[in-house]
Amino acid sequence: MELFEGSRPLPRPSYLGVEITYPERDDPQEVDDIRTNLSERFLQLADTESDAAQKNSLDAKEPMQVFLRVRPFTGLEIEQKESQECVSIPDPCSVLVRAPLSSQACRLSDRGSSSVAQKFSFTHVFGPETNQTQFFEGTIKKQVIDFMKGQNRLIFTYGVTNAGKTFTFQGSKNDGGILPRSMELLFNSIEGKVYSKMDIKPHRCRDYIRLTKEQVKAENAIKNGVLRHTKEVDPHCSIQSNNSRISADTTDFLNDDGVSNCSRVLSEFEERVRESEELKFDVNDSVKFSVWISFSEIYNECIFDLLDLVSGDKSYKRKTLKLAQDLKGFSFVKDLQWVQVSDAREACRILAVGKKFQSIAFTKLNSSSSRSHSIFTVRLLKIEDADVPRVVKVSELTLCDLAGSERCTKTHNEGERLKESGNINTSLLILGKCINALKNSQQSKIQQHVPFRESKLTHYLQSFFSGKGKVCMIVNISQAASAYDETLNVLKFSAVAQKVLILDSCPALDSLLHGQKKSAREVSFIINNADNKSLLSRKRATVQWESRLDDVLEGGNDEEYEDNFDYEDPLDCTNLEDEDDYELEEDEIVIKKEAYENLLALVEDLKTKLCSEKQEKLLMELRIREDVAKEFKEHFIQREHDFSERLQKEKELLEERCDERMEILQNLVRTCSNEEEDDEEDGTKEPLSVTTDELNIPLQGLFSSIQCDLAVIKKQAVEAHHHIEAIHDDAEQISALEQKLQKVTGELSKTQEELQRNSADLVRQVNQCSETRLQLEESDKTLLSHKQQIDQLMDMIQQKDTAIEKLKDLISHWEAKCEDYEKTLNSLHGEMVNVDSDTSRKRPPDARQPPEEQPPSKKGICADQPSTRNPFSYVSMQRQNAENRKRYRLKRRKSGLSSDVKWR
């Protein structure tokens, strides 16, 4: 039966106390971890009571401390409206983040709104208003104190680029970060107890070596060389070795070149420390402390020593250092330069030298972005400064300023910067994987492989996650809306990191050693024993059942391994000293014969117990294996049963679907045949139900027609084949065909040319047509406007005609009136004539009187009476008529009648 189907582990069988469930899944079933668990069980059973007590203390695990620091907005960020209240701090131990609308998180969320806030808890949250002092006091101070008490501590920063990691770590020009402050606290605390000789130097991970006079000289030369570098970069600095106090004349912590010049900050801090807390070691006068510092960086997956003097030479290719692992499984950087320091100022100057050589570059998001993970390590040797100085404790404080994760879409990095980003992101991703795997292993009993070796950073940090000492993480975030998505990822990672339990073996050792005066060899035995146990538990946590050699030894460096074998007792410094010293140490161990015999008996007794234990374990293993096999068998039977059920169900489902499809097909065929029937002339209807035979008829027809087509195609293919063969044989025919082809091609090209010409003509004509059409349209428009004008004129003519008609009527009216007047005049004239004749008859003929005025008469009206007319009166009458007419015209004109009326 298949056990591996993917990467997700199956639910554990019941022998681990987990109920067997059989969800539908395609993931692999890891079998290796079963063996791991057995081994763990054996080890548990093997522990004696005293061992158990010791083991309990060794396994004193605590969750990793994670502090969050929220960076304030920069001026530029405020200008760019980055402040969208994405981050708030409801209480000192939690932070609330709300996705801005522009964020990917918001876009991808189902609700698509920014209203849903996420809360993350931390050991402590420091808001944007927190200053460096408050931050140091609230976080690292305790760690430094623990370190001074002899414990190992790792402090590392984590966050996206430009989140303020380096600021927190190293600080600014006027305000030192946790690193200079730690140094200050350390040297203030060991004031007057500094072991300034350089004859004992830390070695490998937790060892030390005694140096000869020549070696001491060489060390001194190296130290002065390093410090000279600070002189070169900062002329105001002066070396003041063997002086733990800081001179007041020195200036800033960092100068403009980013070089350490810590005095002012340190002297201020010194004051504060002195005021607030004087942490003095309550140790006798013979106890001294030797402080050694190293500073390295992991750049593009290579480790470089930042205190390597040749680093300053640009043409010199920096030496890549290797990681090594001692027999206890602790990693260390091989051939790393350790420099002894006597005061905080020296430490800061060494930091400045290292910083000068550190890989820092301009990116779009940060003008001085760390392109590497920097590791600043302080080793503290507690020395009993008697006749022969003797190291009683070695502790280590490692401060890692990790480079920030970055999105290339935002940084727009290219070339070298892009490569750096890739390496930074990869190593941080692996750190995330390791943290995740550690958490899973600790929470679920299922041993997961922790991929420490996949990156240099995690490989280096492995020791701390495996019991070397406590780990403290500082998470830096910015509140900028544009960095929200990255910030959210950082917070999620931190939430996981907080769940990781860190084993700290040092307190156990302390408790074991406390209150008893033991010889160096006894101490070494206890430590080794403890180390071996912690190593075993470490191996259980990190290495699978079959530990491969390269999981234990470093980089194929067998020599290193053998070296460690020789010096497997870390506190038995005689191993590394002169032979004489060794003898001296040996002579100090005094065991009575009785005790020796007792011990021998004890050993024998233990041997027998061991044998019986082994037998018991073997039997138990057998039983467990049987149980496991039985449970597996049941499990597989159950799975088989499940699978057969599933198979059956699927079969039924398929059959059902098949039936449904058949029904659909039948319906389709039925509809088609109905339609055909409708088309037929007789119009007789088929019954709705179709039998299978009836259904087959059209299909058969279809098949037969397809077969016919196939036969025709085959025939054509055969013919074509024959034709091709014939053509193949006949070269002449080919050439004739080729000629024909050429001719046809020529004709084709001619036709094409003609076609092109005609097309061009056509196009031209089409263009002309369109132009003509446009002209025509314009003419139409003009015609229309003319027509409209004509219409208007016609209207006007009509109006005029009407007016003329009216005038004509008026004229005829007035003519009639005139005739009336004439008639009246004529009658008046007649009357006048009568009156005249009467008067002449009454008067003597010679009494010629001038005629009286006569009313006007029309010319010719009185023509029929010329014989009766007096020539004199006639003339006057005519004159009178003319005057009357004149007066009448005048009157008419005044009354507004047309003057066109003519008197006839």
Ligand X SMILES: Nc1ncnc2c1ncn2[C@@H]1O[C@H](COP(=O)(O)OP(=O)(O)OP(=O)(O)O)[C@@H](O)[C@H]1O
Residue ranges binding ligand X (CB under 6 A): 71-72, 159, 161-167, 172, 366, 368-370, 403-404, 476
The neighbour count for residue 204, using CB atoms within 10 Å, is 23
CA–CA dist 491, 127 (Å, integer):
15
Type of residue at 540: R
Across 58-171, where does the E strand assignment appear?
Answer: 61-63, 65-71, 87-91, 94-98, 117-121, 124-126, 153-159
Residue with Cβ nearer ligand X (488 or 520): 488
Which lies closer to ligand X via its Cβ, residue 166 or residue 448? 166
Q: Are 410 and 365 in contact (CB under 8 A)?
A: yes
- Angle, helices 593-679 vs 692-729, to 10°: value is 100
Which residue, 347 or 483, is less far from ligand X as judged by CB? Answer: 483
In terms of CB distance, is 306 or 571 closer to ligand X? 306
CB of 96 to ligand X, least distance (A): 19
Q: Least distance from C-beta 273 to ligand X, angstroms? A: 21
Task: Report the residue number, 92 or 112, with the smaller CB distance to ligand X.
Answer: 92
And the tokens for 364?
A: 């779009």
194 vs 483, which CB is nearer to ligand X? 483
CA dist., res. 360 & res. 368, Å (int): 6
Q: Is 8 helix (H, G, I), strand (E, B) or coil?
A: coil
Closest Cα partner for 180 from 344, 342, 357, 352? Answer: 344
Least CB distance from residue 404 to ligand X, whole Å?
3
For ligand X, the closer of residues 89 and 624 by Cβ is 89
Which C-beta is closer to ligand X: that of 267 or that of 370? Answer: 370
CB of 349 to ligand X, least distance (A): 21
CA distances from 430 to 22, 417, 450, 455, 825 (A): 32, 20, 9, 7, 141
**207 vs 485 by CB, closer to ligand X:** 485
| b/e sequence 524-561, b meaning 16+ C-beta within 10 Å | bebbbebbebbbebbbbbbbbeeeeeebebbeeeeebb
Q: CA angle, 614 as apex, 612 and 616 as ends, to 5°?
A: 70
Q: For residue 720, what are its two tokens?
A: 């074509």
Q: Least CB distance from residue 428 to ligand X, whole Å? A: 10
Nearest to 327 by CA among 545, 539, 152, 43: 539
Nearer Cβ to ligand X, position 92 or 746?
A: 92
Nearer of residues 71 and 141 to ligand X, judged by Cβ: 71
Residue 585 CB, shortest distance to ligand X, in Å, is 48
Least Cβ distance, residue 82 to ligand X (angstroms)? 13
CB of 128 to ligand X, least distance (A): 7
Q: Which is nearer to ligand X, 391 or 403 (CB)?
A: 403
> What is residue 556's three-state secondary structure?
coil
Report CA-CA distances (Å) from 700 to 491, 668, 694, 707. Answer: 70, 16, 10, 10
Least distance CB 435 / ligand X (angstroms): 19
364, 410 Cβ separation under 8 angstroms: yes
In whole angstroms, the minimum distance from the beta carbon of 308 to ligand X comes to 22
Comparison of 367 and 767: residue with beta carbon closer to ligand X: 367
Answer yes or no: are the C-beta atoms of 337 and 347 closer than 8 Å.
no
- Distance separating alpha carbons of residues 773 and 771, to the nearest angstrom: 5
Question: Which is nearer to ligand X, 363 or 857 (by Cβ)?
Answer: 363
Cα separations in angstroms, 198 against 225, 309, 339, 376, 713: 15, 19, 9, 20, 99
Minimum separation from the CB atom of position 169 to ligand X (A): 7
Beta-bridged to residue 449, according to DSSP, are none
Between 162 and 188, name the residue whose CB sits nearer to ligand X: 162
CB of 166 to ligand X, least distance (A): 3
Tell the smallest beta-carbon distance from residue 73 to ligand X (Å): 9
- Say whether 333 sits in a helix, a strand or coil: strand
Q: Which two tokens stand for residue 340?
A: 């002894």
Of 518, 564, 333, 538, which is closest to residue 438 (Cα–Cα)? 538
Do the Cβ atoms of 384 and 286 come closer than 8 Å?
A: yes
Pick the closer one to ligand X by CB: 325 or 476: 476
In 183-330 the beta strands, taken as DSSP E runs, fall at 200-203, 207-210, 287-299, 302-305, 320-321, 323-325
- With tokens 């299922």, the residue in question is 446
Crossing angle (nearest 10°) for helices 692-729 and 731-842:
110
How far apart are CB 257 and ligand X at their closest, in Å? 15
Q: Which is nearer to ligand X, 167 or 814 (CB)?
A: 167
Residue type, 637: I
Residue 585 CB-density burial (10 A; 0-12 exposed, 13-18 middle, 19+ buried) = buried
Cβ distance 138 to 121 under 8 Å?
no
Q: How far is the CB of 163 from ligand X (least distance, A)?
A: 4
In the complex, minimum distance from the CB of residue 368 to ligand X, in angstroms, rounded to a whole number: 6
Of 331 and 359, nearer to ligand X (C-beta) is: 359
**Shortest CB 162 distance to ligand X, Å:** 5
Q: Are strands 65-71 and 470-478 parallel, antiparallel or unpaired?
A: parallel
d(CA 222, CA 879): 158
Cβ atoms within 10 Å, residue 486: 24
Residue 352 CB, shortest distance to ligand X, in Å, is: 16
Under a CB-based contact definition with an 8 Å cutoff, are residues 27 and 6 in contact? yes
